[in-house]
C-alpha cells in the first residue's frame, strides 16, 4: 500500500474509532496496520487525545499531509514543512498532536528518499552506469592462472568449505615461497 493510501485509510479508520460511529476495536487496527508508526502515534497517547478537539486536529494533520505528499521536495519546501510543523505544535502543545504530525513528517521523508532513489537509478540507467557493489553474472567462475589446486571441498557436516592444498614430501605447500 502506498503512503498516500495508507494515510487516507488510517485517518478514516481513526475517525471511526475515536468517534464510535461503528464498532471498531484496536485489535483489528493493529492487525491491518501492524507496526506502522502513524498508527502507533494515534494510539500511543490516547489519554492526551481527549484533551484536544481530536477531529479538528486530525483534519489539520490530514490537510498538512495532502498538501505536501507526492510533491517535489526542494529545500524551500522542506523549510515550509518545518515551519508548518512548528506552527502546528505551537497551536496545540499536546504530545498526541505532536506524535501524529511527526509520524506524517516521517512518511514525507520516506517518500522523498524513495523518489530520490528512483531518480538516481533512472539516471544511472540512462547513462549506462551500473550501481556500485557486487553484480550478478551468468558466466561460470573461471580460475585465474596459478590457482590450480584451490578447489573448494564441501564438508559432510555442512561446515565452512576449506580449500584443497597440495603439499610436497617436505611438508611445504607446493608453489609457496617457503619451498
The pLDDT tens digits for 91-145 are: 999 999 999 999 999 999 999 998 888 777 766 656 555 544 444 445 554 545 5
- pLDDT score, position 1: 47
Question: What does the domain layout of the chain look like in residue ranges?
Answer: 3-126
Q: What is the mean pLDDT of residues 60-85?
A: 95
Distance from C-alpha of 175 to C-alpha of 173, rounded to nearest angstrom:
6
Rg (CA), the chain: 29
∠ CA 144-147-150, rounded to 5°:
130
Q: What share of the chain is helix, strand, coil (3-state, %, to 5)?
A: 55, 5, 40
- Of 149 and 85, more confident: 85
Q: Over 80: is that where the pLDDT of 66 sits? A: yes
Q: What is the DSSP letter of 42?
A: H
The answer to whether 8 and 104 are in contact (CB under 8 A) is: no
CA distance readout (Å), 69 to 50, 92, 93: 28, 22, 24
- pLDDT score, position 150: 46
- pLDDT score, position 62: 97
The pLDDT tens digits for 35-52 are: 899 999 999 999 999 999
Amino acid at each position: 500500500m502506498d503512503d498516500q493510501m495508507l494515510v487516507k485509510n488510517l485517518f478514516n479508520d481513526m475517525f471511526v474509532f475515536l468517534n464510535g460511529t461503528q464498532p471498531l476495536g484496536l485489535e483489528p487496527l493493529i492487525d491491518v496496520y501492524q507496526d506502522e508508526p502513524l498508527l502507533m502515534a494515534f494510539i500511543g497517547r490516547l489519554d492526551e487525545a481527549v484533551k484536544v478537539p481530536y477531529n479538528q486536529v486530525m483534519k489539520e494533520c490530514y490537510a498538512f499531509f495532502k498538501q505536501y505528499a507526492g510533491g517535489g521536495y526542494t529545500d524551500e519546501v522542506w523549510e515550509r514543512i518545518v515551519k508548518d510543523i512548528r506552527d502546528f505544535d505551537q497551536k496545540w502543545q499536546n504530545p498526541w498532536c505532536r506524535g501524529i504530525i511527526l509520524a506524517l513528517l516521517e512518511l514525507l521523508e520516506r517518500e522523498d528518499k524513495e523518489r530520490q532513489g528512483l531518480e538516481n537509478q533512472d539516471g544511472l540507467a540512462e547513462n549506462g552506469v551500473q550501481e556500485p557493489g557486487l553484480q550478478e553474472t551468468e558466466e561460470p567462475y573461471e580460475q585465474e592462472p596459478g590457482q590450480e589446486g584451490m578447489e573448494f571441498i564441501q564438508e559432510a557436516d555442512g561446515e565452512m568449505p576449506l580449500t584443497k592444498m597440495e603439499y610436497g614430501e617436505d611438508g611445504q605447500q607446493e608453489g609457496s615461497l617457503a619451498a
